[in-house]
Amino acid sequence: MKLEGPGNGISFSYLEDFMNFHRLFKFFPVVAVALGLSADDLYLGQTPEKYLMGDYNGGKVHKVFVNKIEKSSFRMRPDVMAAFQKMIEAYDKDRKGKSNEHIFVRSGFRSYADQKYIWETKFTGKRKMRESVEGKKPEEIVSLILQYSSAPGTSRHHWGTDIDINSFDNTYFEKGGKGEFLYSWLQENASKFGFCQPYNEYSKRGEKGYYLERWHWSYKPVSSKLEKEWQKAYQSKKIIIKGKFMGSNTMSDDLPLTYVTSVNTDCKE
Ligand SMILES: [Zn+2]
Tally: H helices and E strands in the chain: 11, 6
Neighbours of ion ligand 1 (CB under 5 A): 164, 216
Segment 75-101 mean pLDDT: 98
Q: State the distance from the centre of ligand 1 to the C-alpha of 251, rounded, in angstroms.
A: 21
- pLDDT at position 262 is 97
Q: How far is CA 33 from the centre of its chain?
A: 21
Q: State the distance from the centre of ligand 1 to the C-alpha of 154, rounded, in angstroms.
A: 12
- pLDDT at position 7 is 37
Segment 109-119 mean pLDDT: 97
Cβ contact 194:266 at 8 Å: no
Q: Distances from the Cα of 235 to the Cαs of 39, 60, 230, 258, in angstroms?
A: 20, 29, 9, 12
Backbone Cα Rg of the chain: 22
Q: State the distance from the centre of ligand 1 to the C-alpha of 185, rounded, in angstroms.
A: 19
Q: State the distance from the centre of ligand 1 to the C-alpha of 214, rounded, in angstroms.
A: 9
**Range of lowest pLDDT (21-30, 56-65, 139-148, 194-203):** 21-30
Q: State the distance from the centre of ligand 1 to the C-alpha of 163, rounded, in angstroms.
A: 6
pLDDT, tens digit, 9 for 90 and up, residues 18-67: 444 444 444 444 544 555 667 779 999 999 999 999 999 999 999 999 99
- pLDDT at position 14 is 42
**pLDDT above 80 (res 177):** yes
Q: State the distance from the centre of ligand 1 to the C-alpha of 93, rounded, in angstroms.
A: 26
58 HSE (CA, 13 A, CB side): 23
Q: State the distance from the centre of ligand 1 to the C-alpha of 107, rounded, in angstroms.
A: 7
- pLDDT at position 38 is 75
Q: State the distance from the centre of ligand 1 to the C-alpha of 103, rounded, in angstroms.
A: 15
Cβ contact 198:156 at 8 Å: yes
Segment 73-100 mean pLDDT: 98
Ordered by where they begin, the domains of the chain are 11-43 (no CATH), 48-267 (3.30.1380.10)
- pLDDT at position 25 is 46
Q: State the distance from the centre of ligand 1 to the C-alpha of 216, rounded, in angstroms.
A: 5
Q: State the distance from the centre of ligand 1 to the C-alpha of 10, rounded, in angstroms.
A: 57
Q: State the distance from the centre of ligand 1 to the C-alpha of 219, rounded, in angstroms.
A: 12
Provide the whole-model pTM: 0.85
